[in-house]
Amino acid sequence: MAKSIDVSNLDIYYGDFKAVEDVSMTIRARSVTAFIGPSGCGKSTFLRSLNRMHEVIPGARVEGKVVVEGQDLYGDQVDPVEVRRQIGMVFQRPNPFPTMSIYENVLAGNRLNAKKMKKSEADDIVERSLKGANLWNEVKDRLGKPGMGLSGGQQQRLCIARAIAVEPQVLLMDEPCSALDPISTSAIEDLIHELKSDYTIVIVTHNMQQAARVSDETGFFNLKAAGQPGHLVEFNSTQKMFANPDNESTEAYISGRFG
């Protein structure tokens, strides 16, 4: 079941360097939230903090809270691996596992969770996930072929199928269309619209038009000054952000006057 995320006074560090400062927001369940802002402002770092992916970098840590349904994801007793199962991620470039078939790519997360499955159960998961990613009809007759043999857009949808196969509550997407052609981008955007009825989706994008097309709410990140931490300048409904933002720098970025 899709869940909301409450972020309170979050600071994100890499060693002694504070990359993101004092972010607070509520990400609504069953909605699409987009983060925009210039390169290096911390939006992808913030995205990775939502499922503790940033911790794979030595010295990375946070101060503050990320709460999902009353549970602080950074609590002492919380397993980060379980957090990443509940909050999946799709990366900028499609990354199917090169030695695996389409079928096994979809099941990779389930296998990693050491879940024993009957063949019929595995078949059901693969079909459900590929249908959920709008890929089933294109690959159902070649499930045993390598995932790397698909086109770029198909590979990204395969990665989405792999992410939803473990039935997460939240799906994070870090610039999921930046490496894709316009037709594939349109397919992924259509898929995002369809998935939000079952998932809470958070996307980072440099494409202003994409943010306007796919998201319900938008957060604008920026740097206070060079060398300073990134911070959340404004968080509002996408309609308001693009029509009448509260902050002058938000309007300047969206209109293309900087960034």
Higher pLDDT, 242 or 113: 242
State how beta strands 230-237 and 200-204 pair.
Answer: unpaired
Q: What is the pLDDT of residues 4-23, one digit of tens each?
A: 999 999 999 999 999 999 99
User: b/e for 173-201, b at 16 or more Cβ within 10 A?
Assistant: bbbbbebbeeebbebbbebbeebbebbbb
Read off the tokens for 196.
Answer: 């939000």
Sequence ranges of the domains in the chain: 5-99+173-254
CA distance 192 to 199: 9
- CA torsion sign for 147, 181, 167, 197 is negative
Question: What is the model's pLDDT at position 128?
Answer: 96
Q: Looking at the domain covering 5-99+173-254, what would its CATH class be?
A: alpha beta
> What is the average pLDDT across 153-161?
96
Q: What is the pLDDT of residues 174-205, one digit of tens each?
A: 999 998 999 999 999 999 999 999 999 999 99
DSSP for 113-157?
A: TT----HHHHHHHHHHHHHHTT-HHHHTT-TTSBGGGS-HHHHHH
Q: What is the mean pLDDT of the chain?
A: 93
How many residues belong to the chain? 259
**Is residue 95 pLDDT above 60, yes or no?**
yes
CA distance 34 to 114: 33
**Is residue 2 pLDDT above 80, yes or no?**
no
Name which of 58, 53, 66 is nearest 11 in CA terms: 66
Are 4 and 33 contacting, i.e. CB atoms less than 8 angstroms apart? no
Instruction: Name the pLDDT band for 115 (thresholds 50, 70, 90).
Output: low
> What is the average pLDDT across 75-92?
92
CA distance 97 to 160: 13
Residue 213 backbone dihedrals phi, psi, to 5 degrees:
-75, -40
CA distance 143 to 106: 10
Give the single-character DSSP code of 35. E
